[in-house]
Structure 1
């Protein structure tokens, strides 16, 4: 039985942050798919506060929240593929942009979860967020392929959800947020990230993601409409 287990769900970008980190490090693990509509006793026991995935279990000890898990992985297996820079200043800058991703990226999900004026507001806010990232975060890359130089690091993994996943979300939401002409640095990085061998070989298929998010969006909008109708009656 594997000493390392990962509880996750296949469509989750947060699960894939951990999967990709484990693959980059060459760590053997057992993946245990979770049904979030019927949460397993193992998930509830391992993350009793938030009851969410992903959860990494190492030697029987659970760790939750994707970026916290990545930091744990890097500190527990420091000998292969470091995920943070050795230089103190570069490490601090990396932590800043990781924290920014954690605080801001979830707001972009409102593009997918809403329609009409509410969606329009979410699109505008996401474009403003992208303008900041294009200038101040992806502008740091200059001649580098990734935030880790020639290798993918923790900052790349933090923003990787904006590549394959946001592309799928744009398609099923019927809006265009990431304009390659307006955000060339981000789009160039996203293409390199998705084509990096370990990343490319372990990402979910685009069609599967689009199909999943189309169904999910229909369910969310139907539930919102039903709630609004109930409130007006």
Structure 2
């Protein structure tokens, strides 16, 4: 299956990874056909070692034979290459803000939530406090918009896919209440809008499969 530009698009990914999922969401929102290759980290493929020899991590996008790692870099590349259904605003200031929030998600917000869900009892209170503070910051950035991208899903929404979908599963396994309608009504409403968007809904990994995967990881 080829892309609309007539060149093959291939994604090396991991079904349970929110970072791989960002690439899938972006391609689906653009209507770009692609081949998907599932990676086994215990037995990394020749393609992964060839196309991402430095980090040996997913996702990797291969377009016209050129490999590109790092999910946020890939999403911007997809947006620049296929210009329909833009994921970044046209206004330079708004574009810069979208990049800022995407980077803040990866550098600050996602790690805080991940740590809260996986921390041991000793460090849990502090980790939960940091996670709640991170969600508060994100909710303030959303303001009263439907999506971070306004009326349509954009770069920041895709970057926040972990918040929209993965967090509900992880907090249930950990027995925590982080993102709830009571604590963060606007952000919770956004998460429901996000996961129920027709394109997003069909492109997220199955909830029961993801729950079982992380439940098994938690019990190790």
TM-score over 0.5 for the alignment? yes
Deviations 1:179-206 (A, max 9, x none): 3212111001111011111001111121
Partner of 2:44: 39
Answer whether contact 1:112 1:217 (CA < 8 A) is retained: no
TM-score if structure 1 supplies the norm length? Answer: 0.88
Residue 23 of structure 1 pairs with residue 28 of structure 2: yes
Conserved? CA contact 2:117–2:176, under 8 Å: no
| Cross-structure match for 2:153 | 152
**Distance in 1 between the 2:43 and 2:116 partners?**
27
CA distance in structure 1 between the partners assigned to 2:159 and 2:16 by the alignment = 16
Q: Which is higher, the Rg of structure 1 or of structure 2? A: 1
Query: Of 124, 131, 134, which aligns to 1:129?
Result: 134
CA distance in 2 between partners of 1:164 and 1:211 (Å): 15
Q: 1:162: how far off?
A: 0.6
Q: How many residues align?
A: 214
Q: Report whether the alignment pairs 1:89 with 2:93.
A: yes
Spell out, residue by residue over 1:152-200, the C-alpha distance to the aligned partner (whole angstroms, 9 max, x if none).
1111101121121001101111211113212111001111011111001
Q: Distance in 2 between matches of 1:214 and 1:120?
A: 21
**C-alpha distance in 1 between matches for 2:118 and 2:67:** 31
State the partner residue of 1:59. 64
User: What's the TM-score, normalizing by structure 2?
Assistant: 0.93
CA contact (8 A) 1:25 1:77 kept: yes
Query: Does residue 118 of structure 2 align to residue 113 of structure 1?
Result: yes
Normalized per residue, which structure has more helix?
1
Runs of 4+ in 1 over 6 A off after TM superposition: none
Give 3-state SS (helix, strand or coil) of 1:84's partner: coil
What is the CA deviation profile of residues 77-97 of structure 1, one whole-angstrom value per residue up to 9, with x for unaligned ones?
A: 11x111100112211211111
